[in-house]
Structure 1
């Protein structure tokens, strides 16, 4: 009876080691710009009844689309500025497809630009999706350099939903590959790698956990 037990232990240890090796290999490929990651961050908040939840969902939608207010979340936090499709700063609470967001990570002065590519609103769901982009032509030279540490194929979807008396807030990251290859990386290839694997790697979970809590009213901005 001992032999099968010993064999199983060896198999389990071998599988664990294999998983670790594969994870390291994948991470190396991500750093080298050869692979991407998908990540989802979410928080939820329940209310006494659906009527209250429906009222609070309307407030969640307002928070979702008032991008400039995201900068006021407490603690370590990025700065978010909304720009229209001509590259002008705007305080609108109703962004449109084609608008830009400038994101500055805490402790840095490096601008990271994304552009809104989709907005979708239903009775119990609201979301918008952004992709890394060049800075607005009115603010730059109009070249093809992506001013973001992720590749242009990456996306972030910010979403709020109501299911019964419960609100859910989401940040859904797809195809998060480091922008460190080719002309699109421009002169930022090295700094993009350092930011993605260094600064952002340490802040990402904190940032999106904070934001999704804010979207469902578990956290409020500083006054």
Structure 2
């Protein structure tokens, strides 16, 4: 099973995980499919979190909101608490680079990788996110035997201080530094906990 997480080269990195174990492999397989759909239905992520957090709106490649499983080329339109970016019309944007699934008798994996992007509703190529576009976030749900894991891996997280607007530069620096010192950790931990929460 290959989990394709980009190499850490510069800036910060972040890793969070959660797991649920079952007495029998068959029960884990059934629950994996539940967790997999939770992962793929990005537009419901904020409902999985047990704390006030970012709101995730799944859009197609043109920026139109959609309610379906995520696909490569889609975008996440992210509303984080506090002021948003001017270039992003008040939102942070990422593009979905990869959606990957793999399955065997012993293991199963669903992976989504995203990268900061421009706002698809505008012609500007400027990155509309508090991190530079070298950063990636990889979201996974995995079944290994009778255990189901959810993980988030952030790599090469560097504050986006290249924005054309001074307000965006200041905002991105503050939020980027907050993430660097771990203030985004509770949100991602809440998400992975929610992805593998066994409601019975």
Name the SS of the counterpart of 1:186 in structure 2: coil
The residue number in structure 2 matching 1:133 is: 117
The residue number in structure 2 matching 1:15 is: none
1:115 aligns with 2:95: yes
Note if contact 1:80-1:102 (Cα within 8 Å) is conserved in structure 2. yes
The residue number in structure 2 matching 1:85 is: 61
Residues in 1 aligned to 2:198 and 2:191: alpha-carbon distance in whole angstroms:
10
TM-score where L is the length of structure 2: 0.84
Residues in 2 aligned to 1:77 and 1:176: alpha-carbon distance in whole angstroms:
19
Note if contact 2:179-2:185 (Cα within 8 Å) is conserved in structure 1. no
- The alignment covers a number of residue pairs equal to 179
1:161 aligns with 2:161: no
The residue number in structure 2 matching 1:196 is: 176
The residue number in structure 2 matching 1:74 is: 50
The residue number in structure 1 matching 2:7 is: none
The residue number in structure 2 matching 1:214 is: 194
**RMSD of aligned residue pairs (Cα, Å):** 1.9
Q: Aligned match of 2:80 in 93, 98, 105?
A: 105
Cα offsets for 1:166-195 (capped at 9, x unmatched)? 1111001011011113xxx22121210011
Higher strand share: 2
Higher helix share: 1
Shift of 1:107: 3.9
| Aligned counterparts, 1:33-48, within 5 A | 35-48=10-23
* Cα gap change, 1:39 to 1:200, in 2 (>3 Å): closer
Shift of 1:203: 3.8
TM-score where L is the length of structure 1: 0.75
Cα offsets for 1:92-122 (capped at 9, x unmatched)? 1x22111000111124444100000011101
1:186 aligns with 2:164: yes
Which contiguous aligned blocks of 4+ residues in structure 1 show a shift greater than 4 angstroms?
199-202
Q: Any stretches of 5+ residues in structure 1 without a counterpart?
A: 1-34
Structure number with greater Rg is: 1
